[in-house]
């Protein structure tokens, strides 16, 4: 078994080589490495799971219900001349129930199929939270 690819540059390997050179025993290097592997003082390299030349599998990436919501909330805010900061977006999103979150997932799936956010029908409503009451003015 081989040690990791970076072992040759490691402090452990440098120390082993230093001691073997000092006592003129470099021929014992392989035996010492084998013993260290057996004692688990050093670790073996991880076996390669796949052929590096093999084509990579496509990952299932795309819009999530959160990103679909964000995309629509930004457009909705622009159309209504409202500024929505991230904490407000999170507050609105936290108020959605399970059915509305499923609807956002449906919107995300439609976005992943190539539709434009504006063309998707029946998106959950975006309700702005009530602003905090103003503190009374001191007189």
Range of the domain at 89: 65-119
C-alpha to C-alpha distance for 4 and 114, rounded to whole angstroms: 44
pLDDT at 49: 64
User: How do residues 59-118 score in pLDDT, each as one tens digit?
Assistant: 667 788 999 999 999 999 998 898 888 999 999 999 999 999 999 999 999 988 888 888
Alpha helices (H) in the chain, listed in sequence order: 11-22, 29-38, 65-79, 86-94, 98-112
Q: Is residue 103 part of a domain?
A: yes
Q: In this model, does residue 21 exceed pLDDT 90?
A: yes
Q: In this model, does residue 50 exceed pLDDT 80?
A: no
Q: Is residue 131 part of a domain?
A: no
Same domain flag for 77 and 43: no
User: How do residues 4-18 score in pLDDT, each as one tens digit?
Assistant: 777 888 888 899 999
Q: Is residue 112 part of a domain?
A: yes
Q: Give the total number of structural domains in the chain.
A: 2
Q: In this model, does residue 134 exceed pLDDT 70?
A: no
């Amino acid at each position: 078994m081989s040690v990791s690819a970076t072992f040759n540059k490691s402090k452990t390997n440098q120390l082993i080589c230093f001691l073997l050179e000092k006592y003129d025993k470099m021929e014992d290097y392989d035996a010492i490495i084998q013993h260290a592997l057996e004692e688990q003082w050093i670790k073996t390299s991880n076996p390669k799971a796949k052929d590096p030349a093999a084509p990579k599998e496509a990952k299932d990436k795309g819009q999530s219900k959160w990103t679909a919501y964000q995309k629509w909330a930004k457009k909705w805010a622009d159309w209504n001349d409202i500024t929505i900061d991230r904490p407000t977006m999170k507050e609105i999103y936290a108020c959605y129930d399970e059915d509305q979150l499923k609807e956002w997932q449906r919107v995300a799936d439609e976005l992943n199929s190539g539709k434009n956010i504006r063309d998707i029908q029946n998106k959950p409503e975006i309700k702005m939270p009530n602003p905090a009451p103003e503190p009374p003015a001191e007189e």
